[in-house]
Structure 1
Amino acid sequence: MDSIITLDVSDLEPPQPMHTICQALTTLQRGQLLHVRHRREPVPLFAILTEQQFEYRHTEEGAGRHHIWIWHQGDEQAYNKLDEKQ
């Protein structure tokens, strides 16, 4: 099991990024961290993550380069991996 799953949706047109991310969330296990690369800030996704018991961190690395790190709520093992990557 890979502990960090990277998903680049920056070249996809809406609504494909949302569909691709939501599909990946259905297979995300505790202890895993999903790293999403996106060209914009996916604000609607953040509400979905909160509703579905996920936590996330969003960073912007300049125009058109967004990173979203997603893990299960309360999953300290995945959260610790995030701290190692940041």
Structure 2
Amino acid sequence: MLDIPMPLARLQAALLQFLPKPPLTPDQLRLLRVDNVVQSDALTLKTLGITATPMEAILPGYFVRYRPKGQFSRHLSAG
């Protein structure tokens, strides 16, 4: 990695964004300016008193819309 001054990086991103597969875009540059690594002393769900719910318990409700007959498909087979 090279340490590039931000004005130069913005110029590069502005030009490179028009390539078919740009190596750097202005959006990526904005994201790179903010640290996205969790600190070791960060609060966790447990320290905040929050009990996590497994995805398996929630996801079926989100996928109802993808059933062939939607939310009523289970009632059609019983009927």
Larger Rg: 2
More helix by share: 2
State TM-score, norm by structure 1: 0.26
State TM-score, norm by structure 2: 0.27
Larger RCO: Structure 1 or Structure 2 (Cα < 8 Å, ≥ 6 residues apart)? 1
More strand by share: 1
